[in-house]
């Protein structure tokens, strides 16, 4: 796998730094968003986003619907082009989609006409060129095993549940060997039980593999953002902008139950609630100003 070694060089679990969670301070920046603005036609979506993401970091991007978090992810993937500013991945300006930045979409990462094995096989074909079909299929089965889908390779996406599809989508992105994983509310359409299971699976995959990937995880769920991320980017609306960046101390996140009971979690949750309250206030004021002007004409 064309993975990237943890720059800290230490055991993932031993990274004690509270500054950036699982990774050491010396980690190099893999993704850098520099003063990026984005608009659909003339409607501004994102304004002056500035963000540095270190190698191996797990970033949660949190925001309500319409804040442009999906647009930010699509920009990172190269599926959209910024109106202003630029995004740099490993020293190169992002100009289009690339297998080095794998994406898991909410519910459509797989081709419906291919079975799960073939969906993965396509990715393996790209990451490891020149492999025979049988070898690719074997590797595909290994990845399906890894995400808890043993023996379902011959099933088609329509034949399996949403949770299984998302597992397969994660497996495909892993098989693609992308050092950067971009996830757009990947568990947003799942029931709570499957959601928890897949959160744990994703964290487990991110912790345990030696070739740790950098993850940008978009969600509108505060708990999910805090539980998953080393760092939580809180986006405000109209236009989308970074309101705050919160660092989640890694030590607190040993255990789901403990984490949600912890003081750290409640403090961060309250901070986010305050941020959104402020954002809503600001918008209401802006709206009343506009209304006032309109009334005076």
- CA 10/CA 135 separation, integer angstroms: 33
- CA 171/CA 54 separation, integer angstroms: 23
State which residue, 103 or 139, has the beta carbon closest to another protein. Answer: 103
State which residue, 102 or 229, has the beta carbon closest to another protein. Answer: 102
State which residue, 83 or 160, has the beta carbon closest to another protein. Answer: 160
| Least spacing, CB of residue 130 vs another protein, in Å | 15
| Least spacing, CB of residue 255 vs another protein, in Å | 23
State which residue, 105 or 187, has the beta carbon closest to another protein. Answer: 105
* C-beta of residue 202 within 8 angstroms of C-beta of residue 148: no
Element (H, E) at 46: strand 43-54
Alpha-carbon distance values, 240 to 10, 94, 276 (Å) = 36, 20, 13
State which residue, 191 or 251, has the beta carbon closest to another protein. Answer: 191
| Least spacing, CB of residue 98 vs another protein, in Å | 6
- CA 216/CA 237 separation, integer angstroms: 19
State which residue, 17 or 166, has the beta carbon closest to another protein. Answer: 166
| Least spacing, CB of residue 102 vs another protein, in Å | 6
Alpha-carbon distance values, 297 to 66, 82, 284, 287, 292 (Å) = 30, 36, 20, 16, 9
The two counts, helices (H) then strands (E), for the chain are 8, 10
Interface positions with another protein (CB under 8 A): 77-79, 96-99, 101-103, 105, 108-113, 122-123, 126, 152, 156-161, 163-164, 176, 194
| Least spacing, CB of residue 215 vs another protein, in Å | 15
The pair of structure tokens assigned to 125 is 């074909």
| Least spacing, CB of residue 34 vs another protein, in Å | 22
The pair of structure tokens assigned to 239 is 């236009």
């Amino acid at each position: 796998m064309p993975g990237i070694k943890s720059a800290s060089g230490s055991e993932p679990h031993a990274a004690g730094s509270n500054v950036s969670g699982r990774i050491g301070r010396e980690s190099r920046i893999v993704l850098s968003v520099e003063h990026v603005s984005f608009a659909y036609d003339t409607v501004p979506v994102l304004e002056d986003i500035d963000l540095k993401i270190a190698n191996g970091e797990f970033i949660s991007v949190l925001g309500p619907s319409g804040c442009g978090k999906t647009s930010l992810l699509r920009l990172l993937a190269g599926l959209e082009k910024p109106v202003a500013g630029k995004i740099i991945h490993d020293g190169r300006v992002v100009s289009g989609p690339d297998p080095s930045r794998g994406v898991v979409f909410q519910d459509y990462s797989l081709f419906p006409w291919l079975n799960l094995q073939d969906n993965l096989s396509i990715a393996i074909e790209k990451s490891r060129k020149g492999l025979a079909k049988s070898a690719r299929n074997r590797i595909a089965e290994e990845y399906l095993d890894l995400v808890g889908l043993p023996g379902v390779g011959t099933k088609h996406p329509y034949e399996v549940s949403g949770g299984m599809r998302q597992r397969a989508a994660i497996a495909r992105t892993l098989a693609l060997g992308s050092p950067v994983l971009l996830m757009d509310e990947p568990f947003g359409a799942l029931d709570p039980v499957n959601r928890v299971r897949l959160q744990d699976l994703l964290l487990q995959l991110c912790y345990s593999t030696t070739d740790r990937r950098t993850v940008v995880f978009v969600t509108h769920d505060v708990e999910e953002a805090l539980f998953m991320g080393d760092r939580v980017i809180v986006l405000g609306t109209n236009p989308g902008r970074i309101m705050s960046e919160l660092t989640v101390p890694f030590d607190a996140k040993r255990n789901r139950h403990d984490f949600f009971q912890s003081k750290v979690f409640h403090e961060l949750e309250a901070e986010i609630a305050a941020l959104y309250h402020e954002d809503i206030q600001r918008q209401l004021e802006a709206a009343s100003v506009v209304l006032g002007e309109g009334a005076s004409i």
